[in-house]
């Protein structure tokens, strides 16, 4: 496709997939900014306070998720150790 454009004398453009502003993380950041602005407009609280609340809530959720992941990994390691020791047979 780009060779055909070059043959016609047109300049080939960067494919949309490779553009920096179309990356998924950029879309997520834009959606986050939009959500904070929307919450700020509809609650009357400053965007900075809403952002701080979301950071605290996100940190707590991350902490609980990490704790759960450690517990699951510990149980899996114990099951593997018990299986290799011959205490459990599948």
Instruction: Specify whether 80 is located in the same domain as 58.
Output: yes
Instruction: Specify whether 53 is located in the same domain as 67.
Output: yes
Half-sphere exposure of 77 (CA within 13 A, CB side): 6
What pLDDT sits at residue 31? 85
Q: How many domains does the chain fold into? A: 2
Residue 80 CA: distances (Å) to CA of 66, 67, 70, 71, 75: 21, 20, 15, 14, 9
Instruction: Specify whether 32 is located in the same domain as 51.
Output: no
Instruction: Specify whether 35 is located in the same domain as 50.
Output: no
Instruction: Specify whether 39 is located in the same domain as 52.
Output: no
What pLDDT sits at residue 26? 73
Tokens representing 5 are: 């454009």
- Domain of residue 70, residue span: 46-90
Instruction: Specify whether 61 is located in the same domain as 40.
Output: no
> How confident is the model over 2-59, as pLDDT tens digits?
555 555 655 555 555 555 555 676 777 888 889 899 989 989 989 999 999 999 999 9
């Amino acid at each position: 496709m780009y060779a055909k454009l070059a043959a016609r004398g047109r300049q080939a453009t960067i494919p949309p997939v490779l553009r920096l502003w179309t990356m998924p993380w950029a879309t997520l950041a834009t959606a986050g900014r939009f959500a904070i602005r929307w919450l700020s407009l509809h609650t009357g609280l400053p965007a900075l306070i809403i952002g701080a609340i979301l950071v605290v809530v996100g940190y707590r959720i991350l902490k609980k998720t990490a704790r759960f992941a450690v517990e699951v990994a510990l149980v899996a390691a114990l099951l593997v150790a018990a299986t290799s020791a011959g205490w459990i047979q599948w």
